[in-house]
Amino acid sequence: MPSFHCGSAVELENHKTAYIKDKIGEGGQGTVYLVELEGRNFALKWYHRKINNGDKFYRNLAYNIDFGSPSELFVWPKYLSLKIGDEYGYVMDLVPERYKCFSDFLLTKEKFSSISVVINAALNITNAFRELHRKGFSYQDLNDGNFFIDPNTGDVLICDTDNVAPYGDSLGIAGKARYMAPEVVRGIKAPDVMTDRFSLAVILFRLLFLDHPLEGRRTLCPCMTEELEQKFYGKYPLFIYDPLDNTNIPVRGVHCNVIRIWPLYPQFVRDMFIRAFSQPCLKREAARPTDNEWQILFTRLRDCVVTCPCGGETFLDLDSEESECVNCGMKIPRPPLLYTKKYRVALFPGTKLYKCHTREETDNYNCVTGAVIRSQNRPGVWGLKNLSGDVWTVKTRSGESVEVPSGKVMVIVKTDSIDFGNCVGKVEANRKN
């Protein structure tokens, strides 16, 4: 191992030089340094020793750098170093301070500021993996140490992307126990896109419920041996809320988070996790929910989150006349609903519309195109502000057509139709309207 110290020069493949400024951290695979490159700070990961598949690993890194990041959410390798003996490293961007490691959320050292933040993080993670898989890569080593999340916005950065490889390529990394698909734990399959699907479901479950989907009564044991790990995560995994087998249910005083949070989420969310960890999905990879299904689920979930007058966020059951706030118990009558071809959105002050709601050809979930606001003079009157840049055409119940240019507000009442430009929706009012 070369002895780097402050000021040491590391030659890169692109003929540039990075200068070591400080040591940031040390992990199983390597050491991470703060480096300066052309006046900017970056991180340099330097591998400890000759790792398995040394040259294959190096070539894979070079391929990934050449290909470019599949999504801006990945902290992707930027430049390879020249080799020093058998050793090498690569330069990547630094993770800004506002992002906190997902492991710290699971240890409750960090806390999400609201339900929408959790949902945004879920959408970001799901979308990043969808893009990764669409571009022909698999991640292979998903675990809680890879994700960095802003607790106030749900913005996500995904690190440790050096194990990412094109389909069919395995770098000999099995993944971290508790996140690996059962067939990988059993050693009958190398990680790939299908095993990523399992790991993604574990990450999403832990993000929402802060406990582990396979850890309940059955897995409580004084000492976790390799044999037991094989049993609980490989040969006989069992979901803690398996509707057909309750022998692994969460235990009071141990699995407190999931016991408290699980019942708060709408049934359609619980159903998806019940499916993702059902015996068929644990055993047969083809049955596992796809990245796209998760993205649709979380978009749908966000569409029914509102801010209660108590200040906390809650879920509305859009099929029922009223819902109870998960924070204060207040009954909230169903607000007017916007129906589009694919979505149904609760129109409640604070709700936002996104491009996926107002443009048919896209599932963009983070570009805001509208917002529900309260009238300043008459708080009982709610309006939908057009923030889309397009002109909306509203057809009222009397058959009249009204144009709502971008920046203007339409009063939320029952309408025959709203033409958003290339997507048509309509508002169904609640009983009071």
Q: Count CA atoms closer than 13 A to 153's CA, side-chain side.
A: 9
Q: Pick the binder of Zn ion from 9, 107, 310, 402 (CB under 5 A).
A: 310
The answer to whether 325 contacts Zn ion (rule: CB under 5 A) is yes
The answer to whether 316 contacts Zn ion (rule: CB under 5 A) is no
* Window 31-50: contact mask with Zn ion (x via CB under 5 A): --------------------
Site for Zn ion in 382-421 (CB under 5 A): none
Q: Pick the binder of Zn ion from 328, 368, 381, 411 (CB under 5 A).
A: 328
Cβ neighbours for 403, distance < 8 A, ≥ 6 positions apart = 391, 392, 393, 394
Interface with Zn ion (CB under 5 A), residue total 6
- Smallest gap from Cβ 313 to Zn ion, in A, equals 9
**Token digits for 125?**
């993670």
The answer to whether 307 contacts Zn ion (rule: CB under 5 A) is no
- Edge-first strand order for the sheet with 17-26 is 9-11, 17-26, 30-37, 40-47, 89-92, 79-80
Q: Which listed range, 13-21, 138-146, 221-229, 307-315, lies at the site for Zn ion (CB under 5 A)?
A: 307-315
Q: Pick the binder of Zn ion from 31, 327, 362, 364 (CB under 5 A).
A: 327
C-beta of 81 vs 314, nearer to Zn ion: 314
C-beta of 269 vs 306, nearer to Zn ion: 306
Rounded to whole angstroms, how far apart are CA atoms 429 and 433? 6
The answer to whether 278 contacts Zn ion (rule: CB under 5 A) is no
Q: Which listed range, 100-108, 192-200, 319-327, 398-406, lies at the site for Zn ion (CB under 5 A)?
A: 319-327
Q: Which listed range, 100-108, 233-241, 284-292, 320-328, lies at the site for Zn ion (CB under 5 A)?
A: 320-328
The answer to whether 308 contacts Zn ion (rule: CB under 5 A) is yes
- Smallest gap from Cβ 326 to Zn ion, in A, equals 8
C-beta of 266 vs 421, nearer to Zn ion: 266
**Maximum Cα interatomic distance, the chain, rounded to a whole number of Å:** 80
Rounded to whole angstroms, how far apart are CA atoms 340 and 342? 6
- Smallest gap from Cβ 143 to Zn ion, in A, equals 35
C-beta of 174 vs 326, nearer to Zn ion: 326
C-beta of 54 vs 312, nearer to Zn ion: 312
The answer to whether 362 contacts Zn ion (rule: CB under 5 A) is no
CB atoms within 10 A of CB 344: 16
The answer to whether 333 contacts Zn ion (rule: CB under 5 A) is no
- Smallest gap from Cβ 298 to Zn ion, in A, equals 22
C-beta of 200 vs 325, nearer to Zn ion: 325
C-beta of 156 vs 308, nearer to Zn ion: 308
Cα 229 from chain centroid (whole Å): 26
The answer to whether 1 contacts Zn ion (rule: CB under 5 A) is no
Q: Which listed range, 197-205, 317-325, 371-379, 402-410, lies at the site for Zn ion (CB under 5 A)?
A: 317-325
CB atoms within 10 A of CB 161: 20
- Smallest gap from Cβ 307 to Zn ion, in A, equals 9
Q: Which listed range, 60-68, 112-120, 237-245, 306-314, lies at the site for Zn ion (CB under 5 A)?
A: 306-314
C-beta of 280 vs 309, nearer to Zn ion: 309
The answer to whether 118 contacts Zn ion (rule: CB under 5 A) is no
User: What residue ranges bind Zn ion (CB under 5 A)?
Assistant: 308, 310, 325, 327-328, 330
